[in-house]
Amino acid sequence: MNRVDVHHHFVPPVYRQAMSRHGLHKVAGAALPDWSVGASLDVMNANSIQSALLSVSAPGVYFGDVEEARKFARECNEYAAAIRDQDPDRFGSFAVLPMPFTMHACEEAVYSLDVLKADGVVLLGSTEGKFLGDPQFDELMAELDRRRAVVFVHPNLHRSSEELGLDAPGFLIEFLCDTTRAALNLILSGTLERFPHIRWILAHAGGFLPYVAWRLSLANLMPDVASKAPAGMLTYIRKFYFDTALSPAAYPQAALRELVEPSQILFGSDFPFAPAPVTAMQRDTLEHSTVWDASARTDIDRTNALHLFPRFVSAGDVVAPARARDVSSLAPLKRAAANAGVRLIDKLRNR
């Protein structure tokens, strides 16, 4: 029993009831699955998952009524805390927030992290058309940064995805678009630069982000972008953590291997939206992966997550110190040098 599952959903009874009242029985084309603590423990035991971080999936808790969203968020977070308190070695949680309402989201984040002792928060890539990185959320980012919070970014269906008219369930492709857009906006808006202590986990291997990383790095040649992301696009992309949920195959894992250190990759199952047989298939695929050696697989399964969630460290774990982030007094000089270089390159490019 060694794995730490950072992408493990739960469906509290109050949440299922709320979805039903609003006529919602599917999430991005996938039926809302049955769930219980026992079902989670069964799949965890069958797949050597020691600990699971519970999170609410899309569409979050906002169904058109702000007060209702605040109530649902609190009830879901207290329900998750009760599960953790009953079995703290097996369960943790990412608190859901009543997005996109910043003041209320701040209140729930403070309560969940400081009082309930949640392990982090879950934020959807977009809510009501607003992507992460929007200036509207700066106050929330400041609260999370002060607490060095772990933020799990899960995709949602953006209205533009819903209006495409494609005859395909949204979880197949559009979910990946939402994650990719949110990650890009977090960089371009300067959110990662201004709030450097937040630790970000991107679901589903980061959507398309690893594949398009070089293309996105061309933004370094744009002075208006470089002023908000002075360390360079690839530097910020490599600060994200990426989970393996529904992405265990060699294709996405090889892209991650070329882009980031193995220390940035975490095991995720997506249970119960990925039912027990699919969870087992993902675990088996990773166990037999030719992309990672045995040492890297061990780190992906467990050790990397222990840097983010040290309360799960147990006897026998060997956890090397995490690499420190560059928030030193030299950072302003580095930014100035980067900006000067970008201006020169841009001038030459436009000759």
Burial 224-234 (b: 16+ CB within 10 A, else e): ebbeebbbbbe
Rg (CA), the chain: 20
pLDDT of residue 348: 38
Q: Encoding tokens for residue 315?
A: 């006897």
Dist. CA 27–CA 34, nearest whole Å: 13
Dist. CA 327–CA 166, nearest whole Å: 44
pLDDT of residue 319: 81
Per the CB < 8 A criterion, the answer to whether 99 and 127 are in contact is: yes
Dist. CA 48–CA 26, nearest whole Å: 29
Dist. CA 350–CA 347, nearest whole Å: 5
Q: DSSP character for 206?
A: G
Helix (H, G, I), strand (E, B) or coil at 16: helix
Burial 307-345 (b: 16+ CB within 10 A, else e): bbbeebeeeeeeeeeeeeeeeeeeeeeebeebeeebeee
List the CATH number of the domain containing 150. 3.20.20.140
> One digit per residue, pLDDT tens: the chain, 351 residues?
799 999 999 999 999 999 999 999 999 999 999 999 999 999 999 999 999 999 999 999 999 999 999 999 999 999 999 999 999 999 999 999 999 999 999 999 999 999 999 999 999 999 999 999 999 999 999 999 999 999 999 999 998 988 988 889 999 999 999 999 999 999 999 999 999 999 999 999 999 999 999 999 999 999 988 899 999 999 999 999 999 999 999 999 999 999 999 999 999 999 999 999 999 999 999 999 999 999 999 999 999 999 999 999 997 888 876 544 444 445 555 556 656 665 666 553 343
Number of alpha carbons in the 13 Å side-chain half-sphere of residue 72: 26
| Residue 277, number of CB atoms within 10 A of its CB | 9
Does pTM surpass 0.85? yes
Task: Kindly state the helix (H) or strand (E) to which residue 152 belongs, with its residue range.
Answer: strand 150-154
Q: Containing domain of residue 95, as a range? A: 3-349
How many structural domains compose the chain? Answer: 1
Dist. CA 30–CA 169, nearest whole Å: 7
DSSP string, 219-284: GGG-HHHHTTSTT-HHHHHTTSEEE-TT--SHHHHHHHHHHS-GGGEE----BTTS-HHHHHHHHH
pLDDT of residue 113: 98
pLDDT of residue 58: 97
pLDDT of residue 331: 52
Per the CB < 8 A criterion, the answer to whether 126 and 132 are in contact is: yes
**Alpha helical stretches, state H, 102-208:** 102-110, 138-146, 159-162, 174-188, 191-194
